[in-house]
Structures are given as C-alpha cells and as structure tokens.
Structure 1
Amino acid sequence: MSTDEYRRGTAVERERQQKQRPARGRYRGVLPVIYAIGFVMFTGVSLYIGPEPAFAVYLVTHVFYAGLVRADIKSLRGQGIDWGASRHLWFGAAFALPFVAPAYYLYSGRVIRRENKSRNLDD
C-alpha cells in the first residue's frame, strides 16, 4: 500500500480528480490564429507603410505572444504538468524571437500528449 491511501481531505480528492482529467492547453488553440493575424499585419504594414511601424507591430505582437505562452504554461502547470526552468526560456524567447510561438505550439502539443499518455487518458 502506498501512503496516498492513508491520506484524506479535499486536497487529496482534488488531486485524484485532477489526475483523471486529460491535460489541455487553455490558450494553445488560440496561438496559431493570433500568430497568423500578427504575421499578416506585420507583412502589410512593412510593405505599405514602412519599417518603423512594422517594428512597432512586431513588438506589440510579441508581447502578446509572450503573454499567451506564459498564461498557457501557467494553466498547464495548474493541471500538474511540470515545466521546470524552461518555462522562463519559452516566455523570454516568445517575446524576442519570431518563430517561437509556432515552436511552442508544437512542443506543448507533445508535452500534453505525453502527459495524457502517462495518465492513461489517450485523448
């Protein structure tokens, strides 16, 4: 018998119920749509207006991407997925680099599938 069988209380019950639910990224599905909209805006502004306003679009969209990545990682951590220190790297990279948002989308999908498989919830 493990020690978990002796533990009681609402926190333990919540923990057991949480392990039975499949993990899902709360903002993960929105990220490709926002990325596509930002890419179209950046391209349009850089072609028709100029590079200075395009840089402003770049900054604003990447602040938004970083916020979405941070919120998604926070929601996944709340579901029991441990990210370790790499969560800070994903956030910083999403703020600065142009192709991190799609890379995060693919990587988080792998992490979620792996976690659901370990929970025996192949969803």
Structure 2
Amino acid sequence: MSTDEYRRGKKVERERQQKRRRASGRYRGVLPVIYAIGFVLFTVVSLFIGPEPAFAVYLVTHLFYAGLIRGDINSLRQQGIDWGFSRHLWFGAAFALPFVAPAYYLYSGRVIRRENESRELVE
C-alpha cells in the first residue's frame, strides 16, 4: 500500500482528481492571436505614424503578454505543474524581449504534453 491510501480529507481527494485531469493552459490558446494583433499594430503604427507611438504600442503589448504568461503559469501551477524559478524568468522576459510570447507558447506546449503523458492522459 502506498502512503496516499492512508491519507484522508478534501485536499487529498483534490490531489487525486487533479492527477486524473488533463492539464491545459488557460490563456495559452489566446497568446498567438494577441501576438499577431500586436505585431500588426506595431508594424502599422511604426510605418504610418512614427517611432514614438510604435514604442508605446510595444510597451503596452508586452505588458499584456507578461500578464497573459503570468496568468497561464499560475493556472498551470494550480493544476499541479511545477515551474520552479523559471516562471519568474518567463514573466520578466516578456516585458522586454520581442519573441518571448511565441517561445513561451512552444515551451508550455511541451511542458503540458509531458505532464499529460506522465498522467497517462494523451489520446
């Protein structure tokens, strides 16, 4: 018998049910759409209006990306996926670096796939 069979309570039942569910990112699917919209806005503003407003678009979209990445990582952590210290790096890098959102999208897909395989829930 494992030690989990002796534990009781609501927290233990939640942990058992969590291990049976598929992990999925809450905002992961929206991230490429928002990234594409931000890229188009940045390009149009920089071509037709100028560099200062384009920089403002860059800042606002990256604040939005950082918020989406933070929310997504928090939702994945609530589902039992451990991110460790790298969650701070993803969040911080989303503020300044232009290709963090697509890199996070690809990386989080690998993490979710690996977690679902370990839970034996891949179709």
Cα distance between partner residues in 2 of 1:77 and 1:84: 10
Counterpart of 1:74 in structure 2 is 74
1:44 alignment counterpart? 44
Instruction: Quote how far apart the aligned CAs of 1:96 are.
Output: 0.7
Other-structure match for 1:115: 115
Q: 2: CA distance between counterparts of 1:19 and 1:6?
A: 17
Which blocks of at least 5 consecutive residues in structure 2 are unaligned? Answer: none
Q: Kindly report which structure 2 residues correspond to 1:1-123, keeping only aligned pairs within 5 A, or say none.
A: 1-123=1-123
C-alpha separation in 2, matches of 1:76 and 1:96: 23
Helix, strand or coil at the partner of 2:16: helix
What number of residue pairs does the alignment pair up? 123
RMSD of aligned residue pairs (Cα, Å): 0.5
Q: Give identity over the alignment, percent.
A: 85
Gaps of 5+ in 1: none
Q: Which amino acid aligns with 1:66?
A: A
Q: Runs of 4+ in structure 1 displaced over 3 angstroms?
A: none
Give 1:104's aligned amino acid. Y
Question: The residue matched to 1:39 in structure 2 has which SS?
Answer: helix
The alignment's TM-score, normalised by the length of structure 1, stands at: 0.99
Per-residue Cα deviation, 1:40-97 (whole angstroms, up to 9, x for no partner): 0000000000000000000000000000000000000000000000000000111110
Aligned AA (2:57): V
CA shift for structure 1 position 2: 1.2
Distance 1:104 1:111 in 2: 10
